[in-house]
Amino acid sequence: MSSDDLTTWSAHALAEAIRTRAVTSEEVVAAHLARIDELNPAVNAVVSLRPEQALAEARELDALTARGLSLGPLHGLPMAVKDLMDVAGVRTTHGSRIYAEHVAGADSVIVARMRAAGAVFVGKTNVPEFGVGSHTFNEVFGPTRNPYDLTRSAGGSSGGAAAAVTSGMLPLADGSDLGGSIRNPASFGNLVGLRPTAGRVASARPGNAYDPGSVLGPLTRNVTDQALLMSVISGPERRAPLSIDEPGEVFRSLAPRPFEGVRMAYSADLGGLPLDPEVRAATEAAARLAAELGAEVVPIDLDLSEADLVFETFRSLEFLDGHGDDIRLHPELVKQTLKDDVSWAQSFTAELIVQAGAGRTRLFRRLQALFEDYALLIAPCVQVLPFPVEWEYPTEIDGVAMDKYYAWQRSCSRITATAMPALSMPAAFSSGGLPIGVQFVGPYRADRALLEYGLTWEAAVAPVMNRRPEVSA
């Protein structure tokens, strides 16, 4: 690609160019649509495309720009929304044959905020069925492939979003994260992915609104673009009881936060998890780099003994609540892993649920106490390299059998159980050219500080972050 290819520009550079009329929104949207036309048949990241409507909306925004007006920070930027989020008038399938022809009647909260900020919606991004599992495939659109190696998984459940951003089909994208659905595809795609504190990006979806497990956040090629999207999608929401009463503007004008003189805890395996040897080596190298940047990196034995119980209990309860009726009414149209999760929830006793709730409180307080002594926790983000796209999920890691379909992503789900925010950052590439990320975990509500530390890390690993995939159509 040439240096003037708009699909190589950062989101914040594109937004500024549109604002100053150096380029038009129509030109930016058209360039990304052309990139989608070129690469999406191979990658399969963007679904339910609406090119004519997107170009028409871009021209309307250009007319506003010509009058000196702007809707907001995303004015004129192309977006494709994760196919679990409703966009008014656009098909929202959840990757399920049950909802294959469902058209949303209204915008979700996150989409309404992006629309109000001037985003142009070109389509949706592919997801696993109902977002279940961290590998993106479904029977409506098929699998999403990793742009670094089309025979490999792009991760999930925000796999379509990650693959689209890393390959230049989108400048940035939204995602959601329960057990790693932002962080895992960010690692698989050499991207930045933030799992914010619950309530930072509010949702008005049905279900248990008091559960901090599932959150929304961005997937981007750099930290400044993270801050750009967070400035739009963050903010209080009266229908969300965990909503944080701070405006999105807190993410504007970030400054690098130095590592020098900062104490950082380092967990090599998050409580004894098996890791692919190349992932382990990359994580160890990341800890050494943090020390070279001036941090006091202290290896710790992190007590996450209750994390699996906490995460797996509340995960299954969420799926029982959200999809119990889908399974009851359409059992032949629902994949077995979701049926398993719901079946597990139906077997839970009241005592088990009470135990998980108390364990979640203890985990939260344990991590908050840790952050009285350390600014950050450095840990592996993923346990495996991007695996063959034909697999449903890895069944073993370094000789250790996985006991559940999501056990291979416990490096992410154990952090979810603590309720702490976490930032996935690029760290290295494997010997076979596959990306490996590292996870920085911060104190509750320290989302801005995480991104500021991310700016410092980004500068230190620039050669890794600048290594974009060369996708063959």
Q: Tens digit of pLDDT for each residue in 401-439?
A: 999 999 999 999 999 999 999 999 999 999 999 999 999
Rg (CA), the chain: 21
Q: Which domain holds residue 240?
A: 6-465
User: Mean pLDDT over residues 1-25, rounded?
Assistant: 89
Is residue 205 packed enough to be buried (19+ CB in 10 Å), middle (13-18) or exposed (0-12)? middle
Residues in the chain: 473
Tokens linked to 232? 């739009």
Q: Which of 2-6, 162-166, 186-190, 277-281 has the lowest mean pLDDT?
A: 2-6
User: Any idea what the CATH number is for the domain that residue 144 is in?
Assistant: 3.90.1300.10
- Determine, yes or no, domain membership for 1: no
User: Mean pLDDT over residues 444-463, rounded?
Assistant: 98
Strand partners, 379: 439
Cis? peptide before 70, omega within 30° of 0: no
CA-based end-to-end distance of the chain = 13
Kindly report the pTM of this predicted structure.
0.97
Question: What DSSP letter does each residue of 69-132 carry, written as one string?
Answer: ---STTTT-EEEEETTS--TTSB--TT-GGGTT-B-SS--HHHHHHHHTT-EEEEEE--SGGG-
Q: Specify the number of domains making up the chain.
A: 1
How many alpha carbons fall within 13 Å on the CB side of residue 376?
A: 31
- Determine, yes or no, domain membership for 471: no
Residues labelled as active-site residues? 82, 157, 181
| Contact criterion met (CB below 8 Å) for 441 and 377 | yes
Task: Say what the pLDDT of residue 429 is.
Answer: 98
* Closest CA relative to residue 380, chosen from 464, 465, 291, 269: 269
Q: Tens digit of pLDDT for each residue in 343-380?
A: 999 999 999 999 999 999 999 999 999 999 999 999 99
Task: Say what the pLDDT of residue 472 is.
Answer: 75
- Determine, yes or no, domain membership for 344: yes
Q: Which amino acid is at 306?
A: E
- Determine, yes or no, domain membership for 473: no
Q: Tens digit of pLDDT for each residue in 49-64?
A: 999 999 999 999 999 9
Of the chain, the percentage scoring pLDDT greater than 70 comes to: 99
User: Mean pLDDT over residues 319-331, rounded?
Assistant: 97
Mean pLDDT of the chain: 97
User: Mean pLDDT over residues 33-46, rounded?
Assistant: 98
Q: Tens digit of pLDDT for each residue in 158-178?
A: 999 999 999 999 999 999 999
Is residue 1 packed enough to be buried (19+ CB in 10 Å), middle (13-18) or exposed (0-12)? exposed
Distances (CA, A) of 285 to 281, 282, 290, 307: 6, 5, 9, 26
| Contact criterion met (CB below 8 Å) for 320 and 334 | no
Question: What DSSP letter does each residue of 81-99 carry, written as one string?
Answer: EETTS--TTSB--TT-GGG
- Determine, yes or no, domain membership for 472: no
For the beta sheet containing 215-220, the strands, ordered from the edge strand earlier in sequence to the opposite edge, are 173-177, 215-220, 192-195, 422-429, 435-441, 376-380, 263-266, 296-299
**What's the CA angle centered on 170, arms 165 and 171, to 5 degrees?**
85
* Closest CA relative to residue 202, chosen from 109, 270, 286, 274: 109
Instruction: Label residue 468 by pLDDT band (50, 70, 90).
Output: very high
Distances (CA, A) of 411 to 215, 263, 269, 311, 424: 17, 22, 8, 12, 12
- Determine, yes or no, domain membership for 322: yes
> Is residue 1 pLDDT above 50, yes or no?
no
| Contact criterion met (CB below 8 Å) for 425 and 461 | yes
- Determine, yes or no, domain membership for 128: yes
Instruction: Label residue 135 by pLDDT band (50, 70, 90).
Output: very high
> Is residue 2 pLDDT above 90, yes or no?
no
- Determine, yes or no, domain membership for 163: yes
Of the chain, the percentage scoring pLDDT greater than 90 comes to: 98
DSSP state of 421: -
